[in-house]
Amino acid sequence: MPTILVSNDDGVHAPGIQALARALDQVGEVTVLAPERNWSAAGHPKTMHKPLRVKPVTWPDGRTVYASNGAPSDCVALGIMGALDLTFDLVVSGINAGHNLGTDVFYSGTVAAAMEANIHGVPAIAVSLGSVHEDQSPDQEEALALAGQVAARLARTVLEKGLPSHVLLNVNVPNLPPERLRGAQITRLGRRIYRDVLIRREDPWGRPYFWIGGEMPTGIPEDGSDVGAVENGHVSITPVGIDLTEYDFMDVLRAWGVEELLAVS
């Protein structure tokens, strides 16, 4: 039986991770190790200046899972490096509350957890379910169960075919009633539009402080992109590599003579 480490960034008690663990029980031996609090949009921390703790907690269904004071990426590192004296064939992260599309992958703790697995040479899948929309909101338990089924099917395929260990699958499932959900599409990362504003206020001592935030991000629904796929009701599956090198630009830099410019004479 394959072994699967399940984590997330919404915290160990979030409904999404419980639905994911339940769905993956059909695929392998599931161990849950996740943050004790919500780390959404916390990116990819590596905790180096304080001790990391792992403690067992019990879910409402009676399952014993593990919670850590670390970030999602810490949880995956802890699991893979043997904090629970187990080894893992696959890491699955989610089910996140809200899509992780385009440049969201740089902020997302859900995707960071999967990337951390890749850094350790373990294949990984990140799963996110779209936010609830007023006009099309299905039963949320049903929506989570459906996203869990998508994750389980993909996990089975990945374990069978063997995903390269430097590639993660970033999966986004629209939050739609099952009858309105369309098939899966293989996509590229699309373009997000953040609608953040900088809010400047003053504390009681007259010193300025700031909030960065605003409305939910939108995106450009280009064909073939993850943004476009979920906008059209498709499940989006994007293979994301951890090599961020912009290969085409290496030749441009060479043509600029940058290597000669900086040569030590």
Q: 9, 74, 104, 226: which one contacts Mn ion (CB under 5 A)? A: 9
54-58 β-sheet, strand order: 54-58, 64-68, 29-35, 3-7, 90-97, 124-129, 167-173, 234-241, 182-186
Indicate the residue type of 157. Answer: T
96 is a site residue for Mn ion (CB under 5 A): yes
Work out the widest C-alpha separation in the chain, in whole angstroms: 69
Pick 10 or 36: Cβ nearer Mn ion: 10
Q: 7, 10, 76, 240: which one contacts Mn ion (CB under 5 A)? A: 10
Site string for Mn ion, 101-140 (x = CB under 5 A): ----------------------------------------
Q: How far is the CB of 9 from Mn ion (least distance, A)?
A: 4
Span of 38-46, 116-124, 141-149, 241-249 interacting with Mn ion by CB under 5 A = 38-46
226 is a site residue for Mn ion (CB under 5 A): no
Pick 28 or 117: Cβ nearer Mn ion: 117
Phi, psi of 147 (to 5 degrees): -65, -35
Q: How far is the CB of 72 from Mn ion (least distance, A)?
A: 9
Q: Which residues bind Mn ion (CB under 5 A)?
A: 9-10, 40, 96
